Amino acid sequence: MAAVGSGGSTAAAGPGAVSAGALEPGTASAGNVKHLVLFLHEAVLVQYVDTLKLAVPSLIYTLQNNLQYVAISNLPAATFQVTYQLKILTTALFSVLMLNRSLSRLQWASLLLLFTGVAIVQAQQAGGGSPRPLDQNPGAGLAAVVASCLSSGFAGVYFEKILKGSSGSVWLRNLQLGLFGTALGLVGLWWAEGTAVARRGFFFGYTPAVWGVVLNQAFGGLLVAVVVKYADNILKGFATSLSIVLSTVASIRLFGFHVDPLFALGAGLVIGAVYLYSLPRGATKAIASASTFGPCPHQQPPGQPPPPKLSSHRGDLGTEPFLPKLLTKVKGS
């Protein structure tokens, strides 16, 4: 986790300003706690205009989390997991529109493949390919997934734009998001279930299964941060594909979900699209050049000496895309 104030702080120099070194891990003390409180007061309350910028993505993330529960309540788990990969498409589109980011031809093709796969899965769902509980509404579930994907894509790109346009650390930005998200969540709880909470208590209905979901969500958030820090896009693509497979297997065992050829085709297209989209830019260029100009350059014609072997310690992600980034970083970088 990045230290607070790393890369410069939004707080102005003055009595409330804190140096980044005072907040490094392993230096906790009573004095540093005081410095931390002063820093947060300066960065969150005094610089309130900067904090208010995080209200928009925080509101959208809170809405997105609630939409996910609506979606999973009205769709089979496997169908939800496949359809939710539309967030890759929405994030890519918002990145192009808001950050002027360019996508390769292979990435555009993978997004089209992703949309096709999701459409096939939804067609299978609409056709009643597998039995579902009577209280499920596939139309409402699909609408909730689409709205969740749109909100996820916009909020993610908006948050990235804020991070790149200011000097505040990721730690501070996540704290600001959490403050707004907690406040907005409590307001929504009071609006929808205020009377029941006042009568039965805040933790009424928190069964072990509910606590398991809470802990799983919290652990998943930390795990995403670890993946982003130590893994590359290839491994994240494999993780997404594995999650689809595991969700399908669990749905079969727990809910009697039936996998027919149409669902298998759609899920396969989505998994392939996720993998292709996750390929690094160098690999996509190599694939494009190989398909355009003939065989791979590593395939030597008969009678020609083999090319010299590259050292296994180069750490070049272009030639070793499956190595975690941790192994390729230079110490101190």
Which DSSP string corresponds to 24-42? Answer: STT---HHHHHHHHHHHII
Share of the chain above pLDDT 90, in %: 16
Is 311 contained in some domain?
Answer: no
Write down the pLDDT at residue 20: 43
Write down the pLDDT at residue 90: 92
Cα Rg of the chain, angstroms? 24
Write down the pLDDT at residue 211: 92
Is 295 contained in some domain?
Answer: no
Compute the distance between CA of residue 27 and CA of residue 35 in angstroms, rounded to an integer.
Answer: 12
7 against 64, higher pLDDT: 64
Is 171 contained in some domain?
Answer: yes
Angle at 273 between CA 272 and CA 275, to 5 degrees: 65
Question: Residue 150 — very low, low, confident or very high, per pLDDT cuts 50/70/90?
Answer: very high
Compute the distance between CA of residue 167 and CA of residue 6 in angstroms, rounded to an integer.
Answer: 8
User: Can you give the residue range of the structural domain that contains 74?
Assistant: 37-127+135-192+214-286
Write down the pLDDT at residue 33: 81
91 against 167, higher pLDDT: 91
CA of 254: how far to CAs of 78, 244, 247, 270, in Å? Answer: 11, 15, 10, 23
Is 229 contained in some domain?
Answer: yes
User: Per the structure, how many domains does the chain have?
Assistant: 1
Compute the distance between CA of residue 317 and CA of residue 308 in angstroms, rounded to an integer.
Answer: 19
Q: Is residue 324 predicted with pLDDT exceeding 60? A: no
Alpha helices in the chain (DSSP H): 30-40, 48-52, 55-74, 77-83, 86-99, 105-126, 138-164, 170-200, 208-230, 233-255, 261-278, 281-293, 325-328
Question: Residue 129 — very low, low, confident or very high, per pLDDT cuts 50/70/90?
Answer: low
Q: Is residue 250 predicted with pLDDT exceeding 80? A: yes
Is 79 contained in some domain?
Answer: yes
- Least confident interval from 35-39, 81-85, 107-111, 195-199: 35-39
Q: Is residue 163 predicted with pLDDT exceeding 90? A: no
Write down the pLDDT at residue 133: 64
Rounded to two decimals, the pTM is: 0.65
Question: Residue 268 — very low, low, confident or very high, per pLDDT cuts 50/70/90?
Answer: very high
Is 4 contained in some domain?
Answer: no
155 against 313, higher pLDDT: 155
186 against 11, higher pLDDT: 186
Write down the pLDDT at residue 134: 62
- Least confident interval from 35-44, 97-106, 131-140, 225-234: 225-234
Is 67 contained in some domain?
Answer: yes
305 against 234, higher pLDDT: 234
Q: 275-322: per-residue pLDDT in tens?
A: 888 887 665 555 545 444 444 444 454 455 555 544 444 434 333 333
Cβ-Cβ contacts under 8 Å for 46 (sequence gap 6 or more): 11, 16
Is 153 contained in some domain?
Answer: yes
